[in-house]
Homo-oligomer: A and B are copies of this chain.
Amino acid sequence: MSGILRLGRLELRVLDLEESVKYYTDVIGLEVTGREENRVYLKAWDEYDHHSIVLQKADTAGMDHMAFKVKDIYELEKLESKIEQFGCQLSRVSKGTRLAEGEAIRFQIPTGHYMELYTDIEQVGTKTGSLNPHPWPDGLRGIAPHRLDHALLTGDDLETATRFFTEVLGFKQTERIVTVDGEVLVGSFLSATNKAHDLAFVKGPDGKFHHAGFYVDNWYDVLKAADILTKNNVQTEITPTRHGITRGLTIYFFDPSGNRNEAYTSGYMSYADFPTITWTEDKIATGIFYHRRELVESFNKALT
């Protein structure tokens, strides 16, 4: 109910830019909408804005920053003031720093990740258009998600991170994982929308990136995604399954730099009066991988 619209973009660090572009276009099925020397901009077919993923050539993999789009400049200013009150130091990203983007504000969240808020980005429209549109366009390739959906990060102090996102940025907490004694928050799922989550944290090292979730339409499209990953010899961490948390249907895999991706669908709708669901840590594996009921070893280790 804050002015935050959605996770508008992720800038990911990748080791080999061309190999990464090939992967994000052929396997994920995004389209390139812009190029600079060290950055490539991409969007999913069903997104309106100029890009949702920015690939940045870098020496280490990971998330450069995540950026949430805000409704308008008025909401952005209100958020800016609340963020400063919380004690975060803000900097300003000037228009033209990145392609097709206007000004943004940038700051570090309590877990050390860089985050931006912005309202100004060129809108290029979806592939189906806005006049008598067909439900999907011809010529889709790869997994072809509808959109970038959410991100999962790790951090040490999830209580503070949750407080920042709920009290300052107006997210609601849809689900939380707590130690059995109820003392420590080890997972926190946060929604700025009616989705089950737009952002989530699991306990781990500060500043690390766990995965970017792309939204596909249904369980058959998760199967199609899984088939495509094998056909393209992409490293897959978890084969098609359900999350207990969010009830979503999912598959986890890795981009060529080791950044984890997810094809995700079918989480529940949450409204602002949604009562937070609690998972106790003894059930965490069921919460994460509902069918497997145990974590895979890499889940907590493969972070970028």
Which residues of A, 95-138, contact B by the 8 Å Cβ criterion? 123, 125, 130-136, 138
Known: A46-B268, A268-B146. A135 touches B286 (CB 8 A): no
Which residues of A, 134-155, contact B by the 8 Å Cβ criterion? 134-136, 138, 146-147
Shortest Cβ distance from residue A295 to the other chain B in the assembled complex, whole angstroms? 13
Which residues of A, 244-276, contact B by the 8 Å Cβ criterion? 244, 247, 249, 251, 266, 268-269, 271-276
A190: CB under 8 A from chain B? no
On whether the beta carbons of B266 and A218 are closer than 8 Å, the reply is yes
Find chain B residues with CB under 8 A from A147 CB: 269
Per-position 1/0 for A189-222, Cβ under 8 A of B: 0000111000000000000000000010111100
Copies of the chain in the assembly: 4
A71 to B272 alpha-carbon distance, docked (Å): 7
A25: CB under 8 A from chain B? no
Which of A32-40, A85-93, A277-285 makes up part of the contact surface?
A: A277-285
Shortest Cβ distance from residue A282 to the other chain B in the assembled complex, whole angstroms? 9
On whether the beta carbons of A3 and B1 are closer than 8 Å, the reply is yes
**How many residues of A are in contact with the other chain, CB < 8 A?**
64
On whether the beta carbons of B130 and A291 are closer than 8 Å, the reply is no
A229 to B289 alpha-carbon distance, docked (Å): 13
Shortest Cβ distance from residue A142 to the other chain B in the assembled complex, whole angstroms? 10
From B1, B217, B242, B286, contact of A132 by CB (8 A): B286
On whether the beta carbons of A131 and B71 are closer than 8 Å, the reply is no
Shortest Cβ distance from residue A250 to the other chain B in the assembled complex, whole angstroms? 11
A164 to B295 alpha-carbon distance, docked (Å): 44
A/B interface sample: 23 pairs, CB < 8 A? A1-B71, A48-B273, A48-B274, A48-B275, A130-B277, A131-B277, A131-B279, A131-B280, A132-B244, A135-B242, A135-B247, A193-B194, A193-B269, A218-B219, A218-B220, A223-B242, A223-B249, A227-B242, A227-B290, A230-B286, A236-B291, A239-B239, A240-B241
